């Protein structure tokens, strides 16, 4: 797919703005994978509906470009999923293929002032399913947008594009946002690399927190971590930061879908058996 404009149909090239041709061919937007991928659109290229976001991804470490709060929610959800191996945002669709689909369905192709536009999919995911790599395309749309018949037509063009390629396509709206899980992910993400503890320190901190959790199962985590700070003569907030780091490292887990971190109690945490048996994998900064 990355070379769909090389060689390019003369008709398509004449209908697309030279700036867009340059973006696809010279700047190689929409090409590459992992940290080397370049999104077709960045936060500087298009007006957004609300806030835009540039943030590092856990999956590949690249700065991603997200054009709305809803895109951010979808991205956080997939970036946290360990089965996702790559996420490519603002992925361009082959304009020759979308033009043919448009003609076949009798749906006008997206254009501005008669100039053909290159369509894009918000998120293209690489996912490991039962040991096999599969791709999933995600379109992110607010429900209100779907009340526009023209938006529905363009969604159908996009859906048919991925269907022709044998790739599953899904629509993601605010109905699909697991709000508690997203809030918990936002709370943990900044802390996955907040410390780079050596092996000895990792286990000392883990064991200290684990013992406190078993001793005070009915208290909120903030209360128990504050007590550890006072007992160990640490600066306030030290052990809560340690806990958030270890939670991000999966040393401890809880039902992130149902329980918000603000009301989390120590008894709701489960220690990883891999950390208990010292067979865990620690993610360094």
CATH class held by domain 180-276 = mainly alpha
pLDDT digits (tens, 9 = 90+) for 154-211: 999 999 999 999 999 999 999 999 999 999 999 999 999 899 899 999 999 999 999 9
Prediction pTM value = 0.85
Per CATH, 10-177 and 180-276 having the same topology is answered: no
Range 10-177 has CATH code 3.40.1350.10: yes
Distances in whole angstroms, Cα of residue 127 to Cα of each of 56, 83, 130, 167, 181: 19, 6, 10, 12, 20
**How does pLDDT run across 224-272, given as a tens digit for each residue?**
999 999 999 999 999 999 999 999 999 999 999 999 999 999 999 999 9
The closest of 278, 270, 283, 260 to 82, measured between CA atoms, is: 283
Strand residues in the chain grouped as ranges (E): 53-56, 63-66, 84-92, 111-112, 115-116, 120-129, 132-140, 168-172, 252-253, 270-271
Domain chopping of the chain, boundaries: 10-177, 180-276
Structure tokens given for 141: 């749309």
Question: Rounded to an integer, what distance in angstroms lies between the CA atom of residue 162 and that of residue 125?
Answer: 13
Is-contact 39 89, C-beta < 8 A? yes
What distance, in Å, lies between the first and last C-alpha atoms of the chain?
33
- List all residues 6 or more positions away from 57 whose beta carbon is below 8 Å from its beta carbon: 63, 64, 75, 79, 87
Q: Name the phi and psi angles at 148, rounded to 5.
A: -90, 120
Beta 270-271 vs 168-172: how paired, if at all? unpaired
Evaluate whether 179 touches 190 at the Cβ level (below 8 Å). Answer: no
SS3 (DSSP) at 129: strand
- Yes or no: say if 105 and 160 are a contact pair by the CB < 8 Å rule: yes
Place of tokens 């340059």: 22
Query: Is 49's pLDDT higher than 60?
Result: no
What average pLDDT does the segment 129-158 reach? 96
62-76 pLDDT, tens per residue? 999 999 999 999 999
């Amino acid at each position: 797919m990355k070379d769909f404009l090389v060689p390019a149909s003369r008709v398509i090239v004449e209908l697309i703005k030279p700036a867009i041709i340059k973006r696809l061919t010279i700047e190689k937007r929409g090409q590459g994978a992992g940290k080397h991928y370049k999104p077709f659109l960045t936060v500087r290229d298009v007006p957004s509906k609300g806030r835009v976001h540039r943030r590092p991804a856990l999956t590949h470490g690249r700065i991603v470009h997200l054009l709305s709060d809803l895109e951010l929610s979808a991205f956080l959800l997939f970036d946290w999923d360990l089965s996702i191996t790559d996420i490519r945002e603002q992925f361009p669709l082959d304009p020759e293929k979308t033009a043919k689909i448009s003609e076949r369905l009798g749906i006008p192709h997206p254009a501005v002032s008669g100039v053909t536009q290159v369509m894009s999919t918000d998120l293209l995911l690489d996912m490991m399913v039962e040991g096999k790599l599969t791709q999933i395309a995600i379109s992110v749309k607010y429900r209100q947008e779907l009340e526009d018949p023209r938006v529905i037509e363009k969604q159908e063009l996009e859906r048919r594009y991925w269907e022709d390629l044998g790739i599953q396509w899904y629509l993601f709206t605010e109905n699909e946002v697991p709000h508690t899980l997203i809030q918990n992910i936002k709370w943990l993400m900044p802390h996955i690399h907040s410390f780079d503890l050596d092996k000895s320190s990792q286990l000392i901190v883990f064991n200290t927190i684990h013992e406190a959790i078993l001793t005070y199962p009915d208290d909120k985590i903030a209360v128990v971590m504050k007590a550890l700070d006072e007992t160990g003569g640490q600066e306030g907030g030290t052990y809560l930061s340690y806990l958030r780091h270890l939670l991000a490292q999966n040393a401890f887990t809880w039902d992130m879908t149902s329980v918000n971190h603000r009301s989390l109690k120590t008894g709701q945490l489960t220690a990883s058996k891999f950390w208990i048996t010292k067979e865990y994998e620690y993610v360094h900064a």
